[in-house]
Amino acid sequence: MSEPLMALCTSSKMQPIRDLISKVASTNTTVLLRGESGTGKEVLARALHKASPRAGRQFLKVNCAALPGELLESELFGHEKGAFTGAYRQKPGKFEAAHQGTLMLDEIGEMPLRLQAKLLHVLQDGEFSRVGGEKIIDTDVRLIAATNRDLEASMRAHQFREDLYYRLNVIEIRIPPLRERREEVPGLVDFFLKKFNAQYGRAVDIPADTMRVFVDYHWPGNIRELENAVKRVVVLGTARPVHTEIIGNINRGPRVTMPGLPSVAAAVASPDAPISLKEIARQAAREAERVAIKEVLDRVHWNRAKAARLLQISYKALLYKIVQCGLVVQETEPEKQKEVIAS
């Protein structure tokens, strides 16, 4: 694997994934990447592109959750002049720009049904037309789709097309959460330490006891959360505050499963510890937010764009809060390393 970041995916859990990537890189097959937020889906997609014969061409990414339907259609397929209000000139879409390269469709589970039908047509026939146009455009793009949604549940709820699901799911790669490959934590910490020390001109180290805490922690935000923790250590010049915060998270347990504000006992690490009213208020506020966000997300089947609208916060702010609150998509099936190679 040429990608330096992939060199860090060293655990036995990642070995089958590395093997699979090497095997499918040379082919044109569509790949579906699944995994919790922050597990490295984009890193893997880029590694796959770099290892493929398309490496010299474009790798482009479109986040299907970031744009409303009409804009997403134009982003993917382009538009002709006058196709809609504001379409002052013709604009090619990402399918054209990524010709002979790789296109990553991130958050594929958020794609509106109408566009799913258009995407299926492109995948089947290798051609499409721009919005407002009739000209048929041929396309040769390797597609990588990614999601942290339970696509099977979306299918049952008629929010995701079954035929598209099977068309995308030729090769499925499930990236395990960081808590299931803790042996990679020290290597990742060293990698991020080097990166941020170089970036900020520092020489900060992580003491052994903090490293043990890092290995023990369940990292609900996965590698992204670990990366941010190391960044904070380097910026602050000391590991202590981050160490204390993570111990607090560990004491609170991996994920409070259901509503109910934290008790005083949960807010402090030991019975003799001082009780900070401020801290209790902060935690209660955070927990109330967590419960509200989870309820809304469940209600809209984890359509985060919709949830952000209902909660009246930006999509980006919601993603941040999902990680901060340790909310992750619940898998319907037990975690399994499913690798399906179509015959």
Stretch touching ligand ATP by CB under 6 A, among 39-47, 200-208, 238-246, 303-311: 39-47
Nearest CA to 173 among 291, 52, 22, 290?
22
Region near ligand ATP per CB under 6 A, out of 72-80, 219-227, 252-260, 333-341? 219-227
Any contact of residue 43 with ligand ATP (CB under 6 A)?
yes
Q: Do 180 and 13 meet the contact criterion of CB atoms below 8 Å apart? A: yes
3-state secondary structure of 327: coil
| Residue linked to tokens 């000139």 | 89
- For Mg ion, which stretch binds (CB under 5 A), given 39-47, 149-157, 158-166, 276-284? 39-47
Distance of CA 259 to the CA centre of its chain: 25
Residues 221 and 38: beta-carbon distance below 8 Å: yes
Return the percent helix, strand and coil in the chain, to nearest 5: 50, 10, 40
Q: Of the ranges 41-49, 121-129, 167-175, 273-281, which one interacts with Mg ion (CB under 5 A)?
A: 41-49
Which of 9, 48, 62, 233 binds ligand ATP (CB under 6 A)? It is 9
State yes or no: residue 167 binds ligand ATP (CB under 6 A): no
Is 101 or 177 the residue whose CB approaches ligand ATP more closely? 177
Q: Could you tell me which residues come within 8 angstroms of residue 110 by beta carbon, excluding any fewer than 6 positions away? A: 64, 65, 149, 303, 304, 305
Among residues 44 and 268, whose Cβ is nearest to ligand ATP?
44
Structure token pair of residue 54: 């398309």
Q: Is 191 exposed, middle or buried (0-12, 13-18, 19+ CB in 10 A)?
A: middle
Q: How far is the CB of 4 from Mg ion (least distance, A)?
A: 19
Nearer to ligand ATP, 18 or 57 (CB): 18
Minimum distance from residue 165 beta carbon to Mg ion (Å): 19
Smaller CB distance to ligand ATP: residue 164 or 322? Answer: 322
Q: Which tokens belong to 1?
A: 């694997």
Per CB under 6 A, which region of 2-10, 125-133, 199-207, 305-313 contacts ligand ATP?
2-10
Residue 141 binding target from Mg ion, ligand ATP, none, CB below 5 to 8 Å by type: none
As a whole number of Å, the CA-based R_g of the chain is 22
In this structure, are residues 21 and 14 in contact, taking their beta carbons and an 8 Å threshold? no
Closest CB 82 distance from ligand ATP, rounded Å: 35
Residue 234 burial (CB < 10 Å; 0-12/13-18/19+)? Answer: buried
| Residue 202 engages ligand ATP in binding (rule: CB under 6 A) | no
Q: Does the protein bind Mg ion through residue 42 (CB under 5 A)? A: yes
Burial class of residue 2 in the structure, from the number of CB atoms within 10 Å of its CB (0-12 exposed, 13-18 middle, 19+ buried): exposed
Q: Which does 9 bind (CB under 5 to 8 A by kind): ligand ATP, Mg ion, none?
A: ligand ATP
User: Of these, 148, 154, 159, 303, which contacts ligand ATP (CB under 6 A)?
Assistant: 148
Q: Which two tokens stand for residue 2?
A: 């040429």
- Binding interface with ligand ATP (CB under 6 A): 5, 8-9, 35, 37-43, 148, 188, 191, 223-224, 227
